[in-house]
Amino acid sequence: MSRVHTGPLTEGDGAAQKKILWPMLSSVLGMVLLALFVIPNILKSGAGLMSPGALLSLAIIFYVGSSALLISYLLRRVERLLQVAKGLILVGFIFHTGAIVAHWMVAGRPPISNIFEMLISFAWALIALDYVFQRIYKLKILSSFSVPIATLAVLLSTILPADPERTLPPALQSVWLYIHVTFAIFSYVACAIAFVASILYLVKDRVKLETFGMITQALTVTTIAGIDWLGNADTAHRHFNILLRGEFFLSLLYKGREIAIPGMEKTYLVAGLPFAGNALRVSLLVAVIGLVLYLAKASSKTLLRVTQLGFLAQLASVAVILAATLSNSTQQMIDRIPGQVLGQFDAAALAKAATVSIKSIPFIFAGLLVALVTTLLFLILHSRHEAIVSSLPDGKLLDEVNYKVVTIAFPLLTLMIATGAFWANRTWGSYWNWDPKEVGALITWLVYAAYLHMRIVRGWAGRRAAYFAIIGFVFVLFTFIGISYLLPGLHAYA
């Protein structure tokens, strides 16, 4: 059994030093690179270091560093990595709390009225509850997944409009907003922790790596095919075609808003990103091939090579999109706009004022990022499978955590729906309107109700319970984020 290093390292303890050196260097390097990008932008904006955006950016720097160390701790089990990560989490959490308080002071209300505010509040609550569950169950390993999920949520929030000074619609100017959404956030956080415990249980229970690989490929196929469908749907107003023509477009923004084409309602000025569509097309085709190979039970080596190729293609897709937006080469983008459309604008003024930003495709980019991170996690699991399995706590404890957390999540989901129905009746005169988000919340509630029924009445535990909790969290994500973006309804503002 390998030693757990907690005290000072001696000069002769070379193996332990190597275990710590590279994770520390990678964490520090990532934080420095982020700081070099973030701090000049903060200073350039003139908002000050105590502004909500600046504080959130500083929190991200420390969360990213802690996430790198926590993943290294999962692989290497060196206690000092965990201790340093905890310190970084604490500093990030302080900045995160400061960002929420500052946003609250600017807005004059709690930050829970739109997707941006709910994401930063969700991430804050996830960090806090992760700490609570660690104290109760002594599950140090839980943070290796919970903190990166919170970090990803905060990162995704940065591509959404914050707009703290906006006036809330009349329907939202109610104390029931804060009651209803608070229940929603904490129920979703509990579902996220149950999801993490379920994933860890399945790894500990030695579910075949091929199963995880197949799920990873299916997620990539679903994500990119969904993006392609959005690009061709009338509601998307982007009209790109990834699969057949290798096209991918971004809207041009003016003062943070998409530029509408005159005389064409809710149709926006778009410009193509060179190579992005083709990179996504390669990612989709490789993922389809990988999924077929997994279903055909091809050799493990072949499956790994295909997954690695798919990861590189996904990474290229995200890199091309980021490069195009960070370089902000607006003139090149404008040059690619059809002349008959461009002729409706003052080209000189457009080139001067318009910007290119992933903020025009926040959920599309979020989907690509989630698929990329999922593939990366699978490759890490594949490369260090035995080490990870041996480092995890007993499966019975993980199964118990899954069950206990769902018993917390389910009442919170119930209260979320009940307070929402009461508020809806006061606002719209009806307890239930079959709004897409209401239906999504009801389906989510039914999944967790079925979980508890099968667990208590039929004795379902272990893998079946874990799969139930994972499916439930998928519905949580779709209800929380997907419906808000894809389906119009009474909750469109959220």
Q: How far apart are CA 189 and CA 412, in angstroms?
A: 10
CB-facing half-sphere around the CA of 350: CA atoms within 13 A: 24
Q: Report how far residue 460's alpha carbon sits from residue 465's, in angstroms, rounded to the nearest whole number.
A: 6
Q: How many CB atoms lie within 10 A of CB 46?
A: 7
Q: How far apart are CA 440 and CA 426, in angstroms?
A: 21
Angle between helices 175-204 and 143-157 (to 10 degrees): 140
- Rounded Cα–Cα distance for residues 259 and 251 (Å): 7
* Whether residues 107 and 253 fall in one domain: no
Residue that finishes a domain, picked among 360, 388, 405: 360
* β-bridge pairing 355-356 and 270-272: unpaired
E strand or H helix that includes residue 21: helix 14-45
Query: Is residue 264 domain-shared with residue 121, that is, in the same domain?
Result: no
Helices and strands, counts by H and E, the chain = 19, 4
Within-domain flag for 435: no
Can you tell me the distance from the alpha carbon of 150 to that of 156, in angstroms, rounded to the nearest whole number?
10
Segment-wise mean pLDDT, segments of 10 residues, the chain, 494 residues:
44 58 76 78 68 86 88 79 88 93 85 84 91 82 86 85 67 79 91 91 86 86 82 56 76 69 64 79 89 84 87 88 71 62 68 71 82 87 83 87 92 92 80 81 92 89 89 88 66 54
Same domain (yes/no): 123, 14: yes
Phi first, then psi, for residue 355 (nearest 5°) are -130, 160
If asked whether residues 252 and 104 sit together in one domain, one would say: no
Give me the domain span that covers residue 116.
1-128+139-161
Q: Are residues 1 and 104 in the same domain?
A: yes
Residue 82's pLDDT is 84
Q: Are residues 156 and 277 in the same domain?
A: no
How many residues are recorded in the chain?
494
Q: How far apart are CA 424 and CA 431, in angstroms?
A: 6
Of 334, 360, 386, which residue is a domain's last? Answer: 360
Report the pLDDT value the prediction gives residue 4, as an integer from 0 to 100: 45
Domain count for the chain:
2
> Looking at the structure, do residues 254 and 348 belong to the same domain, yes or no?
yes
Q: Is residue 410 part of a domain?
A: no
C-alpha–C-alpha distance, residues 217 and 28, integer Å: 32
Among residues 360, 386, 409, which one ends one of the domains? 360
Which stretch of DSSP H or E encloses residue 206? none
* 2 and 107 assigned to the same domain: yes
Q: Are residues 251 and 143 in the same domain?
A: no
> What pLDDT, on a 0 to 100 scale, did the predictor assign at position 347?
67
| CA pair distance 302, 298, nearest whole angstrom | 7
Same domain, 24 and 154: yes
Residue 414 forms part of a structural domain: no
Residue 81 counted as domain residue: yes
In a domain, 440, yes or no: no
**Residue 286 CB partners (closer than 8 Å, separation 6+):** 306, 309, 310, 313
Contact 360, 250 (CB under 8 A): yes
Q: Specify if 220 maps to a domain.
A: no
For residue 234, being part of any structural domain is answered with no
Cβ neighbours around 411 below 10 Å, total: 12
DSSP-based three-state secondary structure for 273: coil
- Shared domain for 39 and 156, answered yes or no, is yes
Q: Are residues 118 and 27 in the same domain?
A: yes
Phi-psi region of 237 (alpha: psi -120 to 50; beta: other; left: phi over 0): left
Q: CA 115, 118, 120, 123: dihedral to nearest 10 degrees?
A: -120
Quick one: CA torsion of 294, 221, 480, 68, rounded to 10 degrees? 70
The answer to whether the beta carbons of residues 207 and 239 sit under 8 Å apart is no
Q: Would residue 34 count as lying in a domain? A: yes
Phi-psi region of 138 (alpha: psi -120 to 50; beta: other; left: phi over 0): left
